[in-house]
Amino acid sequence: MLVIVAPGQGSQSPGFLSPWLELPGARAQLEALSETADLDLVAHGTVSDAETIKDTAVAQPLIVGAGLLTLRALLGDAPDSMAPVAATAGHSVGELTAAAAAGVLTTDEAMTLVRERGRGMAEAAALTPTGMSAVLGGDPDEVVATLERHGLTPANMNGAGQVVAAGTMEQLAALTDDPPARARVIPLQVAGAFHTHHMQPAVERLARHAADITPRDPGTVLVSNADGQPVASGTDALARLVNQVSNPVRWDLTMETFSSMGVTGLIELAPAGTLVGLAKRGLKGVQTVALKTPDDLEAARQLVAEHGKENPL
């Protein structure tokens, strides 16, 4: 059983799309996505520096655009292209990529929403100095208790011994000085406390734009990172995409669902690597491919051939 997953913010790196644009039709596709996003994704995926693509308003459309580009390179764009895929899911902003893959959103709708999501979260992050830190290791209950003591939110519960804490810079500094036992705290290079109440202004902005969209029910199982459960309807999926901005990401529960489904193969869309790393620790025995460059397409297609099946819906 095969799943396709899409990464979130922080997975991008300078020039990561350059080799992909050598594929036939890829540059034209990315230019079309750029027009909807009102952003030059070709430049940002090839020549922009690390500081430029760290900007939330740039990073989020770039990541979703890259996911859509590499999904098409892998499976094509025929109406039944997702037939071998049992389920799809995305981490944070990657859930927009997954929603488009599942047929809930069109590519234009996904790019419109990610444009507004990125801009809204960047503006919300500018209101108060906030950030995020990864907490690696430690007893899970003690980690959560320590975050609560410091007034922090466990914004990403990623499984495999990784929790991402979010809050004000003062709260994060206190966590660094007083970490959970047997845990390491690593500050992350992000612009704000994503997936917390600090992002409420972005939720309101995204909700206004989502009101103009009529979503479709998933044609491929879409596993929500809010609670790790399959989403029954397009209306519910769209509501979750909006509310997700200020709610924690439960990738641990998403992986638990994959395990209970009997998933045997997992492909991560570009910019790939993070979710495959979590899968290797949290989904033992599942074969994985990270689509980092077109050189990975052959291995990914082999995984589709070996683990793909007709869509269960």
Residue 123 main-chain phi, psi, to 5 deg = -65, -40
pLDDT at 311: 42
Whether the predicted pLDDT of 305 surpasses 80: yes
Q: Let me know how long the chain is.
A: 313
With a cut of 50, say whether residue 63 has pLDDT above it. Answer: yes
Residue 212: its pLDDT value, please? 95
Q: Is the pLDDT of residue 249 over 80?
A: yes
Long-range contacts from 233-238, C-beta under 8 angstroms, 24+ separation:
234/104, 237/99, 237/102, 237/104, 238/99, 238/104, 238/105, 238/210, 238/213
Predicted confidence band of residue 312 (pLDDT cuts 50, 70, 90): very low
Count of alpha carbons within 13 angstroms of residue 107, beta-carbon side: 18
- In this predicted structure, what is the pLDDT of residue 160? 78
* Count of beta carbons in the 10 Å neighbourhood of residue 150: 19
Give the mean model confidence (pLDDT) for residues 213-225: 97
pLDDT at 50: 94
In angstroms, rounded to a whole number, what is the distance separating the alpha carbons of residues 34 and 74? 20
When mean pLDDT is compared across 119-123, 160-164, 294-298, the lowest value belongs to 160-164
Q: Which helix (H) or strand (E) holds 89?
A: strand 87-90
* Domain spans in the chain, listed from the N-terminal domain onward: 2-125+196-307, 130-187
In this structure, whether the domain defined by 130-187 belongs to CATH 3.20.20.70 is answered with: no
Mean residue pLDDT across the chain:
95
**Segments in 102-178 forming alpha helices (H):** 107-125, 140-149, 169-177
* SS3 assignment, position 257: helix
Q: What top-level class would CATH report for the domain 2-125+196-307?
A: alpha beta
Per-residue model confidence as pLDDT tens digits over 101-154:
999 999 999 999 999 999 999 999 999 999 999 999 999 899 999 999 999 999
pLDDT recorded at residue 247: 95
DSSP label at 78? -
The answer to whether 41 touches 61, Cβ cutoff 8 Å, is: yes
Average pLDDT over residues 179-191: 91
pLDDT band at 191 (very low <50, low <70, confident <90, very high): confident
Q: What percent of the chain has pLDDT over 90?
A: 94
Mean pLDDT of 38-53: 97
Instruction: Measure Cα distances from 218 to 76, 81, 98, 187 in Å.
Output: 19, 14, 10, 36
pLDDT of residue 6: 98
189 pLDDT exceeds 90? no
Q: What is the mean pLDDT of residues 176-202?
A: 93
39-59 mean pLDDT = 96
Q: Residues 6 or more apart from 236 whose CB is under 8 A from it?
A: none
Is residue 125 helix, strand or coil? helix
Q: Indicate if the pLDDT at residue 29 is higher than 80.
A: yes
Q: Would you please indicate which residues are annotated as catalytic (active-site) residues?
A: 92, 195
- Judged against a pLDDT cut of 60, whether residue 283 lies above it is answered with yes
Question: What band does 313 get if pLDDT is binned at 50, 70 and 90?
Answer: very low
Contact status, residue 175 vs residue 155, Cβ threshold 8 Å: no
